[in-house]
């Protein structure tokens, strides 16, 4: 195969290699969970709670079970008798974090189907399995639940009222976690500040909403006592672990595969009850079982996110230098907390952003309510603190009559101070150190892309004199990426000489198969088509972690490198043996190993693979064991730090409050970019999601705990005509923490848009001293500022 | 979700369809484009036991020039209306309204009769037929009757059709020579239902308004004829003051509900703004055609 | 339960017969009965567009039609775009412009685009952006999709090259 591309370009890393994933998907030959059809397959459906909080008196599935075409039915009693709840701590925070962040954590376990209470609208109370989904839904209508409505806790504040009912009685409280962290003098640092401002910021509830809903197919093979599960998930190894635990099987007898996954963005980043239930059903019934949720089910059950309230106080001097910051915040976690205090932990760590702030103190309550459970969605706690911090910075500027851009420059950590010790502990238990970056340069570039600060302010002035309202919105953040605990990879040289790579990463559109082929092709000096990559299959990598938290580029490449290094050693040793030279005379070239400077002395990987075989006729030197494979685990030392500066210019329609976005700029730095085109796609995709969160998307609950936005007619996703002119500029400041200099970037685009839009609108409305301190940004509220001011 | 079971009947003539609707009343429903009914059925919010599918009755889809009006068969697809040169020239307000309906794939199936019968308060066609005082023709086994648009809409998603009646024809008055029209609406995204919209047709003589027709959508239980605003503009012309007053009158004439997308107060305000903008746009077009 | 009927459709030029009860959605009929899983189901309420196919020349949401209504129809799906192993020009452009990430919306995007480009009169960037807002994508932010469809429109209609500026988003009135 022609190696000229790699040779001419100096390697695949850094090239916008076309995606190998595209062909199947474009031809309509993708394989999503809903596409899987197995002989004898039956279909599951779940009966779901219409009430946010109810005691289950009884659930009678007899009539449903008796229906023609139904082969199985179960109530909560049946399920609780057979299966334990999912351990509430799907993610266990390391001791290092718990040592340095004050925590008081009580996480409820999640029953697969409860038999005591229903705790949110949508929670399952029974299931049926039938010949088709159509029949299964008919059968659901024959189930009569006897439910006694309980007083609902429709939001976090109601759950904290003295005497409020408890979501989980056995916890004795509605707070799943109290957290507290401090830097420097903490709150006391406010006392020295000549100016102090206090504000409340509210970040509303919205969600990942991938185009593909969740789905699981499970098949139990009696002969081998093996369960195979296909799940639209981001964490195949977690699913395997939970299923094996629940069903009392060795993990090695449970295989979980994520085939093509139609988007995840965090919403598929933990184990759901259905992952385990469908597996159990397959073994119970003895037939393959398929469950694919519909969109309404998805909106009610797939994890929601954000939904935070921040009370912030900021202390600063006459120059706008921020001296101290305190925040007290609530996370409305809904009825369960599948990822524990993960989001809140992220928020605590990310609040200070790219600024040097010496005193900081924060406390948090992760509150249980009767809403859908809250789990990470693209940004995972960072958008919420970026909103609070970046609004605060603008408020500081407004208070002093300074330009918000200037206040940012005055507080930003300069590049010469990098690596910068933050004075806080990250979720991985390690003291935070921003590894590399140039924050002021990113902001300068963003402003330049919009014409430069002076020009912008002049345009704004001129517009105002014509009765037009232009605003500049800014938002800067940092993002810890590539978090541990680890990722796994297996690298093998196939007998045909091809490079086989398998890793625990679970892509949902990121292009991992292409990216990791790029890494491996460079590591092995082969044309990229000689590399075969398998992802998201527990059958191929013994231990893996999965794709969440912007981690796979960093962690999977790290694991692939470790495994490659191990195999390299053997390859060189065997090649030296075959070529009868010293290892130091050898180099990788032409899909094999050759003697430096001697073109004819070369052995291919195929030859080496043959020589490596066990048994008669092998050509391994003494001390080199058979086989050319290694399974390795990369345990990152800590996170790498990506960052960005966002800027936008908007114009407000005074009559309607509508916002026209002239241009939205993001200057984004995620270290070395492996595939620039794909990186760009990630940032832009995230950015448009962020705009959705800023302006369109909302999971609205009424005072009775009912979700008002239960379909895509009401939950508004951005469409093509909602995308303003975008400019994404990539800076590449390599990370110091790994061999490739890479950082993670999956989440970045979604972090800043809500605060950037809010800041832009407030900037446009500065003549009215308008403040918008919550999301979503609503036209009606903007229009009101004009009405109130004539 | 999947729909509940139903029996599907496929008449090939109007007569057959009407017989079926009569026989299977009240649980039978006619199926036109399905773009509103089928989602409701997929949610199991609508559960007809019998669907009388009108889609193979070719006699019900036509656009013909009937002199002072266009006669449009009820099963004419919105897409066909959009592509019709005749509609564009003879009833430009109907063309403008069509552009705002959802997206092209919705318009491939959606029909004018279906949209009017569905009577969604935020839909564009109801406001359009009301503004132009169109005549709607309905048929059942008992015969045919004509219904003025002003007597057709009867509350949220409700019309004065009998359960076994269907619309067969819409008679759209042609736009007077020298007139201009526009449908202006505000929605959260392109193609979404209007938070507020106004259909306007105006005929000018110099600066005087000789004829004006205004109807709003999205701001009441059904489309609302803005008679007060029309009067103000007829009397006072198109000065800024007159437009502001017309907008104020429109806002006062509305009776919107609030929901997650907009409060009642905001919709009311938008009704006023849309009135001014629709009138302005229609007037500009009238001047262009002069 | 009402009895199943035999339905014959011509899918991508191939005559296929299957069975469906009246309530079976066309999308499910194509996917589960005829085993053409290229068409995807994202919402079943006609909003997301992933299920869009072309029926008798027009793009239609297959989740809003019953299979029984499509008896005798000519249906084009994503599986029929490539010919003799050669990708359709629009498919190639999608790959070049990185117009897909997870690929779930892609079938609906392609069919929506083909109808839009071939059957509408306005091929300006603004009209294309509006036309393509018929189908939702959660991964790409639409940038590559719009670029690919605009270039396809240029290929089909021979419009002069347009650089960049289309109408921005965020306002929808008029």
Within 8 A of C96 by CB-CB distance, chain A residues are 18
Quote the minimal CA–CA distance from C102 to chain B in Å: 23
Phi, psi of A391 (to 5 degrees): -65, -40
Judged by a CB distance cut-off of 8 A, whether residue A22 touches chain C is yes
Residues 6+ apart with CB under 8 A from B240: none
- Give the residue from B126, B104, B70, B86 showing the smallest Cα distance to B190: B104
Of A134, A714, A780, the CB nearest to B2: A134
Fold classification of C5-80 (topology level): Ubiquitin-like (UB roll) (3.10.20)
Tell me the pLDDT tens digit for each residue of B47-81.
999 999 999 999 999 999 999 999 999 999 999 99
Chain C residues whose beta carbon lies within 8 Å of the beta carbon of residue B280: none
Contact C59 B105 (CB under 8 A): yes
Q: Give the residue with greater pLDDT, A399 vs A3.
A: A399
Q: How many CB atoms lie within 10 A of CB A119?
A: 31
In the stretch 660-699 of chain A, residues with CB closer than 8 A to chain C read: 660-663, 677-678, 680-681, 684-689, 695
Q: Average pLDDT over chain A, rounded to whole?
A: 96
Distance from CA of C95 to the nearest CA of B (A): 24
CATH 3.10.20.30: which residues of chain C?
A: 5-80
Question: Which residue on chain C is closest to A26 by alpha carbon?
Answer: C91
Q: Would you call A780 and B265 a contact, using CB atoms and an 8 Å cutoff?
A: yes
Minimum distance, in Å, between the CA of residue A604 and any CA atom of chain B: 55
Cβ pairs A/C, distance under 8 A:
206
Q: Closest Cα to residue A28, out of C51, B257, C59?
A: C51
Residues 6+ apart with CB under 8 A from A219: A38, A227, A228, A229, A282, A288, A289
Residues 592-651 of chain A with CB under 8 A from chain C are 650
Q: Does A781 touch chain B (CB under 8 A)?
A: no
- Which residues in chain A are contacts of C23 at CB distance < 8 A? 134
Closest CA of chain C from A294, distance in Å: 6
Question: Which chain B residue has its CA at the smallest distance from A141's CA?
Answer: B4
Give dist(CA A575, CA A611) in Å, integer: 9
**Tens-digit pLDDT profile for residues A58-115:** 999 999 999 999 999 999 999 999 999 998 878 888 988 988 888 999 999 999 999 9
Which pLDDT value is given to residue A790? 67
Task: Note whether B271 and B198 are within 8 A (CB).
Answer: yes
CA angle A363, A367, A371 (to 5 degrees): 145
Which pLDDT belongs to residue B141?
Answer: 97
pLDDT, one tens digit per residue, over B3-26 is 999 999 999 999 999 999 999 988
Q: Is the dihedral angle over the CA atoms C37, C40, C43, C44 positive or is it negative?
A: negative
All CATH 3.30.390.50 domain ranges in chain B, comma separated: 179-285
Mean pLDDT confidence for A778-785: 96
Cross-chain residue pair A716–B186, CB shorter than 8 Å? no
Cβ-count burial A493-532 (b if 16+ within 10 Å, e if not): beeebbbbbbbbbbbbbbbbbbbbbbbbbbbbbbbbebbb
Of the partner residues B44, B190, B270, the one whose CB lies closest to the CB of residue A656: B270
- pLDDT at position A743 is 96
For residue B189, which residues of chain A lie inside 8 Å, CB to CB?
696, 716, 718-719, 721-722
Report how far residue C100's alpha carbon sits from residue A548's, in angstroms, rounded to the nearest whole number.
20
Query: Which residue of C lies nearest to A657 if distances are taken between CA atoms?
Result: C171
**DSSP H or E stretch at residue A7:** helix A4-9
CATH of the domain spanning B61-173? 3.30.465.10
Check CB contact of A496 with chain C, cutoff 8 Å.
Answer: no
CB contact under 8 A, A780 and B188: no
Query: How far out from the chain centre does Cα B56 lie?
Result: 23
Q: Give the residue ranges of chain B where pLDDT is below 50.
A: none
Interchain pair B190, C130: CB under 8 A:
yes
Alpha carbons B145 and B136: distance in angstroms, whole number = 8
Residue A640: partners with Cβ closer than 8 Å, 6 or more residues away: A435, A480, A481, A482, A554, A671, A735, A737, A738, A742, A743, A744
Chain C: nearest CA to B233, how far in angstroms?
20
Q: Which CATH number fits domain C89-162: 1.20.1560.10, 3.40.50.300, 2.40.160.40, 1.10.150.120?
A: 1.10.150.120
What integer pLDDT is reported at residue C1 of this predicted model?
A: 56
Check if the beta carbon of residue A745 is closer than 8 Å to that of residue A550.
Answer: yes
- In tens, the pLDDT along B120-145 reads 999 999 999 999 999 999 999 999 99
- Copy the structure tokens of residue A441: 């340069």
pLDDT in tens, A395-416: 999 999 999 999 999 999 999 9
Helix (H) and strand (E) counts for chain B? 11, 12
Which segments of chain B belong to CATH 3.30.43.10? 7-53
- DSSP-H helix ranges across B73-203: 78-83, 85-90, 92-99, 104-109, 112-118, 124-131
φ/ψ of residue A789, rounded to 5: -105, 15
Banded model confidence at residue C171, pLDDT cuts 50, 70, 90: very low
Chains that touch C (3 or more CB pairs under 8 A): A, B
Q: Residue C112: phi, psi to the nearest 5?
A: -60, -45
Alpha helix positions (H), A248-358:
273-285, 295-301, 342-350
Record: contact C47-A713, CB cut-off 8 A: yes
Q: Is the pLDDT of residue C161 over 70?
A: no
Which chain C positions have a beta carbon within 8 Å of A473's beta carbon? Answer: none
- Distance from B191 to chain A by nearest Cα, in Å? 10
Q: Does domain B179-285 have CATH number 3.30.390.50?
A: yes
- Residue B106 to residue C46, Cβ atoms within 8 A: yes
Q: How far is B192 from chain A (nearest CA, A)?
A: 8
Angle between helices A753-764 and A382-400 (to 10 degrees): 20
pLDDT score for C160:
53
pLDDT tens-place string over residues A712-770? 999 999 999 999 999 999 999 999 999 999 999 999 999 999 999 999 999 999 999 99
Contact B188/A696, CB-based, under 8 Å? yes
Residues of B with CB under 8 A from a CB of A: 1-2, 4-5, 39, 43-44, 186, 188-192, 259-263, 265-266, 269-270, 273
Nearest CA in chain A to B276: A655
Task: Please state whether the peptide bond connecting residue C76 to the residue before it is cis, i.e. omega within 30 degrees of 0.
Answer: no
CB contact C42 to A (< 8 Å):
yes
For residue C121, what pLDDT band results from cuts at 50, 70 and 90? confident
Each residue of A666-680: pLDDT tens digit?
Answer: 999 999 999 999 999
Beta bridge partners of residue A304, listed in sequence order: A207, A374
Instruction: Give the pLDDT confidence of C18-55 residue by residue, as tens digits.
Output: 999 999 999 999 999 999 999 999 999 999 999 999 99
Burial class (CB in 10 A: 0-12, 13-18, 19+), A135: buried
* Interchain pair B260, A714: CB under 8 A: yes
What pLDDT score was predicted for residue A91? Answer: 84
A5 vs A638, more confident: A638
Helices (H), chain C: 26-28, 89-96, 106-119, 125-132, 143-157
Give the separation between CA B9 and CA B50, rounded to whole angstroms.
Answer: 7
In this structure, CATH architecture of domain B7-53: 2-Layer Sandwich (3.30)
Chain A CB contacts of B191 under 8 Å are 719
Q: How much is the pLDDT for A425?
A: 95
Q: How far apart are CA C170 and CA A80, in angstroms?
A: 49
Q: Cβ of A706 under 8 Å from any chain B Cβ?
A: no
Of the candidates B224, B182, B225, which has an alpha carbon nearest to the alpha carbon of residue B200?
A: B182
Contact C172 B187 (CB under 8 A): yes
Give the position of tokens 């019934």.
A285
Tell me if A85 sits within 8 A of A181, measured CB to CB. Answer: no
Nearest to C174 by CA among A716, B157, A655, B213: A655
Yes or no, beta carbons of B192 and A700 under 8 Å apart: no
A698 touching B (Cβ < 8 Å): yes
From the list C69, C133, C173, the residue facing B103 with the nearest CB is: C133
Does residue C74 register a pLDDT over 50?
Answer: yes
Q: Say if residue A220's pLDDT is above 60.
A: yes
Residues A560-591 pLDDT 10s:
999 999 999 999 999 999 999 999 999 999 99
Asked whether A766 and A398 are in contact (CB, 8 A), the reply is yes
CB contact under 8 A, B7 and C46: no
Of B189, B265, B270, the CB nearest to A721: B189
Q: Spell A177-190 as b/e; 16+ CB within 10 A means b.
A: bbbebbbebbbebb
For testing contact with chain C, the best of B105, B198, B270, B282 (most C CBs within 10 A): B105
Residues of A with Cβ-Cβ distance to B259 under 8 angstroms: 708
Residues of C in contact with A650 (CB under 8 A): 170
Residue percentage of chain C with pLDDT more than 70: 90
* Partner chains of A (3+ C-beta pairs under 8 Å): B, C
CA distance C92 to chain A (A): 9
Report the pLDDT averaged over residues A194-204.
98
Whether complex ipTM tops 0.90: yes
**pLDDT at position A535 over 80:** yes
Please check the confidence at residue A5 and state whether its pLDDT lies above 80: no
Three-class SS state of A675: coil
* CA gap A430, A257 in Å, rounded: 32
Q: How many CB atoms lie within 10 A of CB A191?
A: 12
Please list every residue in chain A whose beta carbon sits closer than 8 Å to the beta carbon of residue C107.
28
Residues C113-120: what's their mean pLDDT?
96
**Which residues of chain A are within 8 Å of residue C35 when distances are taken between CB atoms?**
37
Residue span(s) of chain B under CATH 3.30.465.10 come to 61-173
């Amino acid at each position: 195969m022609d190696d000229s591309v790699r040779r001419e370009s100096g390697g695949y890393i850094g090239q916008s290699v076309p995606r190998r994933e595209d062909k199947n998907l474009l031809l309509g030959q993708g394989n999503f969970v809903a596409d899987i059809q197995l002989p004898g397959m039956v279909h599951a459906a779940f009966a779901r709670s219409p009430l946010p909080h109810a005691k289950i008196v009884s659930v009678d599935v007899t009539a449903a079970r008796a229906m023609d075409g139904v082969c199985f039915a179960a109530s909560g009693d049946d399920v609780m008798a057979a299966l334990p709840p999912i351990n509430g701590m799907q993610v266990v925070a390391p001791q290092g974090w718990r040592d340095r962040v004050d925590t008081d954590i009580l996480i409820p376990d999640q029953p697969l189907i409860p038999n005591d209470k229903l705790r949110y609208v949508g929670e399952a109370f029974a299931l049926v399995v039938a010949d088709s989904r159509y029949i299964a839904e008919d059968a659901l209508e024959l189930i009569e639940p006897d439910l006694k409505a309980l007083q609902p806790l429709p939001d976090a504040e109601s759950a904290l009222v003295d005497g409020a009912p408890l979501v989980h009685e056995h916890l004795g409280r509605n707070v799943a976690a109290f957290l507290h962290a401090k830097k420097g003098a903490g709150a006391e640092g406010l006392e020295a500040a000549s100016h102090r401002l206090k504000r409340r910021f509210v970040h509303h509830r919205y969600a990942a909403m991938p185009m593909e809903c969740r789905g699981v197919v499970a098949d139990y093979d009696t002969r081998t006592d093996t369960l195979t599960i296909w799940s639209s998930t981001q964490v195949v190894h977690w699913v395997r672990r939970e299923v094996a635990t629940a069903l009392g099987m060795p993990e090695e007898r449970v295989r979980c595969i994520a085939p093509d996954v139609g988007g995840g963005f965090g919403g598929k980043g933990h184990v759901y009850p259905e992952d385990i239930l469908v597996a159990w059903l397959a073994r119970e019934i003895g037939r393959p079982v398929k469950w694919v949720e519909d969109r309404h089910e998805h909106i009610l059950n797939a994890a929601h996110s954000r939904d935070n309230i921040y009370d912030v106080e900021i202390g600063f001097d006459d120059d706008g230098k921020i001296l101290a910051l305190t925040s007290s915040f609530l996370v409305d976690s809904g009825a369960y907390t599948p990822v524990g205090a993960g989001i809140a932990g992220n928020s605590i760590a990310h609040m200070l952003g790219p600024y040097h702030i010496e005193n900081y103190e924060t406390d948090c309550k992760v509150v249980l309510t009767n809403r859908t459970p809250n789990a990470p969605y693209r940004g995972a706690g960072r958008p919420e603190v970026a909103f609070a911090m970046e609004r605060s910075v603008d408020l500081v500027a407004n208070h002093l009559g300074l330009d918000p851009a200037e206040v940012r420059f005055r507080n930003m950590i300069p590049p010469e101070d990098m690596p910068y010790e933050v004075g806080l502990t990250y979720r991985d238990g390690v003291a935070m150190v921003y590894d590399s970056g140039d924050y002021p340069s990113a902001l300068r570039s963003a402003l330049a892309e919009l014409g430069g600060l002076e020009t912008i302010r002049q345009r704004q002035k001129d517009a105002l004199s014509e009765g037009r309202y232009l605003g500049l919105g800014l938002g800067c953040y940092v993002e810890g990426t590539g978090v541990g605990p680890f990722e796994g990879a297996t690298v093998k040289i196939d007998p045909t000489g091809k490079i086989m790579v398998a890793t625990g990463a679970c892509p949902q559109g990121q292009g991992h198969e292409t990216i990791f082929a790029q890494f491996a092709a460079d590591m092995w000096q082969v044309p990229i088509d000689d590399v075969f990559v398998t992802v998201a299959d527990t059958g191929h990598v013994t231990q893996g972690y999965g794709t969440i938290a912007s981690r796979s580029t960093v962690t999977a490449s790290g694991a692939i490198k470790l495994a490659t290094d191990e195999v390299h050693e053997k390859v060189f040793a065997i090649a030296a043996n075959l070529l009868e030279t010293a290892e130091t005379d050898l180099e990788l070239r032409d899909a094999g190993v050759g003697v430096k400077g001697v073109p004819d002395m070369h052995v291919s990987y195929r030859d080496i693979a043959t020589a490596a075989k066990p048994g008669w006729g092998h050509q391994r030197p003494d001390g080199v064991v058979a086989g050319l494979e290694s399974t390795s685990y990369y345990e990152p030392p800590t996170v790498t730090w990506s960052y960005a500066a966002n800027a936008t210019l908007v114009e407000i329609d005074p009559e309607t409050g509508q916002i026209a976005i002239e241009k939205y700029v993001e200057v984004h730095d995620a270290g070395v970019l492996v595939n620039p085109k794909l990186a760009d796609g990630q940032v832009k995709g995230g950015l448009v999601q962020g705009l959705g969160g800023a302006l369109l998307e909302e999971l609205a609950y009424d005072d009775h705990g009912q979700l008002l936005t239960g379909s895509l007619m009401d939950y508004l996703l951005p469409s093509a005509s909602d995308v303003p002119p975008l400019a994404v500029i990539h800076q590449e400041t390599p990370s110091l923490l790994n061999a490739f200099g890479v950082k993670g970037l999956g989440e970045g685009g979604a972090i800043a848009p809500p605060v950037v839009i809010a800041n832009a609108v407030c900037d446009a409305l500065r003549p009215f001293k308008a403040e918008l301190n919550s999301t979503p940004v609503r036209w009606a509220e903007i229009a009101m500022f004009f009405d109130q001011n004539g | 979700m999947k729909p509940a079971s139903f029996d599907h009947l496929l008449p090939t003539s109007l007569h057959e369809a009407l017989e079926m609707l009569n026989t299977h009343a009240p649980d039978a429903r006619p199926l036109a484009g399905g773009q509103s009914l089928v989602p409701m059925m997929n949610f199991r919010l609508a559960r007809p036991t019998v669907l009388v599918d009108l889609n193979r009755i070719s006699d019900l889809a036509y656009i013909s020039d009937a002199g002072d009006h266009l006669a449009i068969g009820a099963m004419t697809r919105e897409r066909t209306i959009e592509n019709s040169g005749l509609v564009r020239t003879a009833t430009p307000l109907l063309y403008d309204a069509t552009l705002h309906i959802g997206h092209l794939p919705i318009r491939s199936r959606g029909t004018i009769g279906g949209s009017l019968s569905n009577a969604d308060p935020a839909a564009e066609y109801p406001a359009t037929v009301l503004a132009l005082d169109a005549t709607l023709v309905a048929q059942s086994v008992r015969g045919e009757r004509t219904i003025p648009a002003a007597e057709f809409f009867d509350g949220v998603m409700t019309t004065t059709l009998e359960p076994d009646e269907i619309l067969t024809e819409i008679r759209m008055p042609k736009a007077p020579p020298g007139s201009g029209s526009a449908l202006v609406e505000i929605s959260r995204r392109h193609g979404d239902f209007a938070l507020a919209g106004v259909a306007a047709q105006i005929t000018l003589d110099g600066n005087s308004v000789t004829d004006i027709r205004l109807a709003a959508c999205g701001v009441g239980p059904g489309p609302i004829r803005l008679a007060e605003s029309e009067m103000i503009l007829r009397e006072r012309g198109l000065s800024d003051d007159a437009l502001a007053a017309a907008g104020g009158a429109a806002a006062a004439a509305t009776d919107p509900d609030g929901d997650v997308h907009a409060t009642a107060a905001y919709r009311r305000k938008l009704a006023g703004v849309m009135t001014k903008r629709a009138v302005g746009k229609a007037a500009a077009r009238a001047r262009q055609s002069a | 339960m009402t009895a199943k009927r035999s339905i014959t459709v011509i899918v991508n030029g191939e005559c296929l017969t299957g069975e469906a009860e009246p309530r079976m959605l066309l999308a499910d009929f194509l996917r589960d009965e005829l085993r053409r899983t290229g068409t995807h189901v994202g919402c079943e309420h006609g909003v997301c567009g992933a299920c869009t196919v072309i029926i008798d020349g027009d793009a239609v949401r297959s989740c809003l039609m019953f299979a029984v209504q499509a008896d005798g129809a000519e249906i084009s799906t994503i599986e029929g775009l490539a010919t003799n192993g050669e990708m359709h020009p629009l498919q190639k452009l999608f790959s070049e412009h990185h117009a897909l990430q997870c690929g779930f919306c892609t079938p609906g995007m392609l069919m929506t685009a083909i109808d839009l480009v071939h059957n509408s009169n306005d091929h300006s960037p603004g009209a294309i952006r509006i036309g393509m807002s018929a189908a939702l994508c959660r991964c790409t932010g639409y940038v590559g999709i719009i670029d690919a469809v605009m270039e396809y429109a240029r290929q089909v209609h021979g419009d002069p090259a347009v650089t960049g500026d289309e109408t921005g988003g965020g306002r929808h009135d008029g």
